[in-house]
Amino acid sequence: MQDLPIHNFSFVTLKFNGFHDLGEWRPFLFIPYFLMLLLSTTSNSVLLYLIISQRALHSPMCILIGLMAVVDLCLPIFFVPNMLLSFLFNWKGISLLGCLIQMFFIHYFGTFQSTLLAWMAVDRFFAICRPLYYHKYMQMPNLLKYIIVPLIRNIILIVTIVSLAGKLSFCATNEIDHCFCEHMAVVQLACGDISMNNIVGLVAAFLIPTVDFIFFTLSYFVILASVLKSGKSHLKAINTCVTHTIVMAVTLTFALIAFLSYRIRNNFSSNIRVFLSTMYLLFPSCFNPIIYGVRTKEIREQFLKFMNRIKVLPQF
């Protein structure tokens, strides 16, 4: 007999079933995801340590890179360890309340990534196009003014999404065809009408990552146009803008494909959809320290000094 729909968080148990088609090969996924977690944790920890410990890196741009490192360090922690345990020991269960908490932190930190990239575009705009006004507008009090509005936007939309998901009627046992609590993967398990959840999810996808990407791209387009118009050779600026745009475009492509795969008819297998969902969260966490850390001259110099100090430490 089919389970009756219920609301009580303490009685609803969800089970992750991502990559189930791989069968006996599923445990081998532990290796690549563990290596990516290790890379993300190590690189972001070193980057964060350098920015905090070195006074020379306390500039607005480096502070934004440090915030990005915090996000990239925290985001995988909310879902990768649980995935690894699932791959090795087949631990799949999670309470609905735990699932909603995971959903909030994954989506909030995920949207925070795109918002930070938009702030970085503002920093580069003033540094390259309006250098005389840079210190006036990019001082911490003014920077906080730019930060507060996107933060309020993000938290209102994510809280709304999670709250609406929590109000749905779920059956006693449900299998999520995923490895973590992605919004639409959970919502589709509800017994009732999910049209409002679908609409709010689309609105959030447009107002946060899509708007941030448009703003980000337009800012860098203006920067590139200004550099080319000036007739000066700013290869570093052009290289930085192009690299940042490529990374954000790849991440957004992963996210939108995974997002739209729940809403339109397609031939995507569940394995591909789950893989893309994990990549739009893990890909930036692994490569942002390289793109925004190692390729930034000031941070690279401090990193080389840090490595030299390690080499000269006395050996016991």
Find where tokens 């080319």 sit.
228
- Exposure pattern of 133-166 as b/e (b: 16+ CB <10 Å)? ebeebbeeeebeeebeebeebbeebbeebbebbb
Domain ranges for the chain, please list them: 13-297
Q: Which numeric CATH code is attached to 13-297?
A: 1.20.1070.10
Mean pLDDT for back-to-back runs of 10 residues, the chain (316 residues)? 51 79 85 93 91 84 87 90 88 84 90 84 82 77 76 91 87 76 85 85 85 83 78 61 71 72 67 82 84 77 78 57
Residue pLDDT, tens place only, 203-251: 888 888 888 888 888 888 888 787 777 765 556 666 666 766 777 777 7
Angle at 185 between CA 183 and CA 190, to 5 degrees: 95
pTM of the full structure? 0.83
Angle at 268 between CA 263 and CA 272, to 5 degrees: 110
The count of other CB atoms within 10 Å of the CB of residue 49 is 13
With CA atoms as reference, report the closest residue to 229 among 239, 238, 242, 240.
238
Helix, strand, coil distribution of the chain in percent, nearest 5: 75, 5, 20
